[in-house]
Structure 1
Amino acid sequence: MSGISGMSGTRDDGLGRAAGWGWFLAWLLVGACAGIGLAAILTVGAAFVVLAAVAAVFLLRSGPGRAVVGGVSGVALPLFYLAYLNRGGPGEVCHAVPGGQSCTDEYMPVPFLVAGALVLVAGCVIHVMTGRRGRAGRVSGN
């Protein structure tokens, strides 16, 4: 009875949970790749979108379906990067460069940061809730 925990008769799924988070992180990377691809569609974005699609097909065939919400959380990474790039905004921001200065218009970073945090947390919460629902079904099904 090495895989049984206590009196409940349920399988000790500590390794199962870790594997579930591994699949979630794999989907997070797919979502990040797709988000970057869509943000940069006019330059290198098409390559990122194709890479994300290929990885998604692989993950759909081999991983648990509930981990797909990691793709939603993955969209947070490009949003965090946009917040970082606009950290000096809003308005025109100038930096000294050899021989003068370089100025760019930047947006307010807070909306990107808030949207990224909301998307990241929403995906994680959904992943945890679906994992609990799955474990509760296994316990009551025994």
Structure 2
Amino acid sequence: MAYDTAAARGERRAEWGLFLGWLAVGACLVLGTAALLSVGPVLIALAAAGTLLLLRAGRRHAAAGALTGAALPLFLLAGLNRGGPGTVCHAVPGGQTCADTYAPMPFLAAGLLLCAAGLLLFRVLVRRRRAAG
């Protein structure tokens, strides 16, 4: 029976903290790639700096968070296109504004798949690391 000691809780917090760091790196990298002609280079530079910092921290199994982070832009796209597919109009002061939108479900499905895969991979790698000692 494993006891939940303060050291074990601190270890878990550190692992999840690194996972969240990698999540941010993954999100910056995907958003930077998508916005390459505008703010993309800045986001890619942030992702590169974050990668260097996180690799120095060790615990490379937390890099599975980058996979989960790649899901965040897909969730954003699903949210922005939630009225689609087709032309969606909204009332604004003095009239209306319309925009063509995509179907949100493919973005949502891909985001959920990436998010679940990253979390599952992280849990498997953490358990394997703990079993190894």
* Same topology, TM > 0.5: yes
Question: Please, which of 37, 40, 44 is the counterpart of residue 39 of structure 2?
Answer: 44
- Distance, in Å, in 2 between the alignment partners of 1:27 and 1:7 is 28
SS at match of 2:36: coil
Q: CA RMSD in A?
A: 1.9
Asked whether 1:22 is paired with 2:47, we answer no
- Distance, in Å, in 2 between the alignment partners of 1:97 and 1:7 is 59
Deviations 1:2-47 (A, max 9, x none): xxxx699xxx623212211110011001111111111211211111
Runs of at least 4 residues of structure 1 off by over 3 A?
none
Larger Rg: 1
What code does the residue aligned with 2:11 have?
G
SS at match of 2:84: coil
- Distance, in Å, in 2 between the alignment partners of 1:85 and 1:14 is 38
- Distance, in Å, in 1 between the alignment partners of 2:122 and 2:2 is 27
Asked whether 1:92 is paired with 2:87, we answer yes
Greater helix percent: which structure? 2
Q: How does 1:1-142 map to 2 (within 5 A)?
A: 13-138=8-133
The answer on whether the counterparts of 1:23 and 1:63 sit within 8 Å (CA) in structure 2 is no
The answer on whether the counterparts of 1:69 and 1:127 sit within 8 Å (CA) in structure 2 is yes
- Distance, in Å, in 1 between the alignment partners of 2:59 and 2:77 is 31
TM value normalised by structure 1 = 0.86
- Distance, in Å, in 2 between the alignment partners of 1:7 and 1:95 is 56
What code does the residue aligned with 2:13 have?
A
What code does the residue aligned with 1:89 have?
G
Segments of 5+ residues of structure 2 without an aligned counterpart are none
Aligned pair count reads: 131
